[in-house]
């Protein structure tokens, strides 16, 4: 068995990617953010304060004949961007891309932080990280993919995120036609709940890859490519107008600049992110100053290959073999 779901950028900056998910009987369809950087499936619900839920599609367990309360269970999660949510837990049928998991833990939000209240484009997250990262207590729950893996043709999923166009999350199979290059595989470290891996080197503007390894995570839930200062500086030294903007908390430059590409090595392959994928967006509507897709990871503590990097590749999240595959797109 397999599943295939389309995913769409939320806005002109590809800030996040939205995928429709069916929950319950009859189906309640919610727009959710698939996130390989976390391991909880949580939703805005009938239990979310009305003032917070305004403008959001919500899940009502009371309207689902297959919903069951997981009594005594609660959850609470804090994300890298300081957003947070918490609540209680139900189990229900969850269908993604035509594949159904009958008894999936659906974490219902009784509290959501301001960022989530304001982001009416999504009604929650589908965590696609490792089960060890799940935040339900007293008994941690499995992710949708972990529950699905044993029934899928292959225990893997792929992410094909695209700039300003529809992409896909495929479960149980690899559609190699989505990629131009060969898929290079490298071991994945799930010990922290993330899809951790080590890139073997990098280069700017098509130069030869150096051999400076970069350890980080493949994270569909993070917008940017976040790397160490030495790499960020090496890149922006090639961008005449680049400067750090305190108010934007990142490097900005003239939107008219012709940005160099950025490449990294992984699994014996080279993934090249084109210059235009590295220009995220004007800092404000109509501004001629643009915000960089590559920014510093120095105050985070880990390097993050987020959507800016993932848009250049077909990425295989292979749970069965504990490995990540990367192919140029
Ligand atoms: C500091 C490094 C991580 C920052 C990362 N967040 C981000 O990357 C958010 C995502 C977002 C987009 C649109 C609207 C709202 C949020 N974007 C963001 O901070 N920016 C600011 C810079 O310009 C680009 C957009 C994050 O916390 N990612 C979470 C998942 C997100 C949480 C907030 C809602 C969207 C999903 C994560 O799970 O991927 C994580 F791994 F970082 C994490 O915190 N795991 C526990």
Closest atom, ligand 1, to C-alpha of 223 = 8
CA distance 323 to 145: 15
285 DSSP assignment: T
Cβ-based neighbour number of residue 115 at 10 Å? 13
Written as tens digits, the pLDDT of the chain (329 aa) is 999 999 999 999 999 999 999 999 999 999 999 999 999 999 999 999 999 999 999 999 999 999 999 999 999 999 999 999 999 999 999 999 999 999 999 999 999 999 999 999 999 999 999 999 999 999 999 999 999 999 999 999 999 999 999 999 999 999 999 999 999 999 999 999 999 999 999 999 999 999 999 999 999 999 999 999 999 999 999 999 999 999 999 999 999 999 999 999 999 999 999 999 999 999 999 999 999 999 999 999 999 999 999 999 999 999 999 999 999 99
327 DSSP β-pair partners: 314
Q: Give residue 223 CA to ligand 1 midpoint distance, Å.
A: 6
55-to-50, 52, 118, 136 alpha-carbon distances in Å: 10, 9, 9, 27
Whole-model pTM: value is: 0.98
Q: Residues enclosing ligand 1, CB less than 6 A?
A: 15-16, 33, 35, 37-38, 79-81, 83, 115, 119, 125, 219, 221-224, 300, 304
Sequence-ordered alpha helix ranges (H) in 166-295: 229-236
The rounded distance, in Å, linking the Cα atoms of 15 and 223 is: 5
Q: How far is the CA of 304 from the centre of ligand 1 (A)?
A: 10
DSSP state of 59: B
With CA atoms as reference, report the closest residue to 222 among 130, 162, 310, 99.
310
| Angle formed at CA 207 by CA 292 and CA 178, multiple of 5 degrees | 70
């Amino acid at each position: 068995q397999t599943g295939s779901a389309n995913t769409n950028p939320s806005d002109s900056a590809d800030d996040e990617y939205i995928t429709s998910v069916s929950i319950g009987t009859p189906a309640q369809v919610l727009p959710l953010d698939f996130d390989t950087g976390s391991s909880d499936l949580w939703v805005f619900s009938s239990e979310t304060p009305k003032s917070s839920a305004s403008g959001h599609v919500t899940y009502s367990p009371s309207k689902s004949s297959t919903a069951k309360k997981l009594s005594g269970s609660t959850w609470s999660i804090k994300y890298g961007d300081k957003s947070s949510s918490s609540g209680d837990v139900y189990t229900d049928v969850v269908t993604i891309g035509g594949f159904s998991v009958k008894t999936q833990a659906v974490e219902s939000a009784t509290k959501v932080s301001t960022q989530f209240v304001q982001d009416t484009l999504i009604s929650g997250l589908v965590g696609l990280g490792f089960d060890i990262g799940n935040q339900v207590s007293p008994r941690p729950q499995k992710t949708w993919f972990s529950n699905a893996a044993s029934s899928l043709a292959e225990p893997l999923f792929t992410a094909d995120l695209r700039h300003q166009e529809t992409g896909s999350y495929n479960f149980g199979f690899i559609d190699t036609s989505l990629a131009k290059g060969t898929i290079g595989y490298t071991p994945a470290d799930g010990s922290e709940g993330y899809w951790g891996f080590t890139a073997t080197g990098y280069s700017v503007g098509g130069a030869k890859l150096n051999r400076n390894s970069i350890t980080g995570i493949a994270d569909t839930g993070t917008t940017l490519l976040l790397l160490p200062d030495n790499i960020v500086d090496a890149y922006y030294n090639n961008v005449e107008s680049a400067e750090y903007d305190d108010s934007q908390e990142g490097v900005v430059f003239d939107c008219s600049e012709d940005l160099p590409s950025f490449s990294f090595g992984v699994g014996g392959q080279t993934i090249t992110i084109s210059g235009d994928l590295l220009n995220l967006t004007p800092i404000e509507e109509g501004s001629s100053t643009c915000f960089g897709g590559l920014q510093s990871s120095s105050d985070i503590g880990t390097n993050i290959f987020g959507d800016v990097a993932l848009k250049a590749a077909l990425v295989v999240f292979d749970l069965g073999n504990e490995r990540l595959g990367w192919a140029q797109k």
